[in-house]
C-alpha cells in the first residue's frame, strides 16, 4: 500500500513539474513576442522619421527645422541625409 501511495505522489510531482515548465515556456514566449513587437514598432518609427527627413529636405526645408519637427538631434538628421 505504501508503494502505491509513493508512486502516486511521484506522479503528481512530475505532473506539477511538467505544468510549471509549460507555463514557464508560455510566459517566455509571451515576453519574447512583446519584446519583438516593441522593437518592430521602434524600427518602423525610425524608418518613417528618416523617410520624412529626406522628403522634407528635398522640399527645401532647413536641416535644423527638420530635426526640430521630427524630434531628433540635428547631427542625427544630417547623418540620415548623408550631410556629415
Q: pLDDT tens across 29-76, in order? A: 999 999 999 999 999 999 999 999 999 999 999 999 999 999 999 999
pLDDT band (50, 70, 90) for residue 4: confident
Question: Taking the mean position of all CA atoms in its chain, how far away is CA 58?
Answer: 32
pTM for this predicted structure? 0.68
Written as nine digits, the cell of 22 is 509549460
Distance CA 21, CA 28 (A): 10
Would you state the torsion angle of the CA atoms of residues 44, 58, 67, 80, taken in this order, to the nearest 10 degrees? 60
Amino acid at each position: 500500500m505504501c508503494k502505491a501511495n509513493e508512486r502516486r505522489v511521484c506522479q503528481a510531482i512530475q505532473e506539477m513539474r511538467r505544468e510549471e515548465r509549460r507555463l514557464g515556456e508560455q510566459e517566455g514566449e509571451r515576453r519574447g513576442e512583446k519584446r519583438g513587437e516593441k522593437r518592430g514598432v521602434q524600427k518602423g518609427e525610425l524608418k518613417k522619421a528618416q523617410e520624412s527627413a529626406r522628403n522634407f529636405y528635398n522640399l527645401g526645408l532647413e536641416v535644423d527645422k527638420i530635426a526640430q519637427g521630427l524630434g531628433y538631434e540635428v547631427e542625427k538628421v544630417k547623418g540620415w541625409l548623408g550631410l556629415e
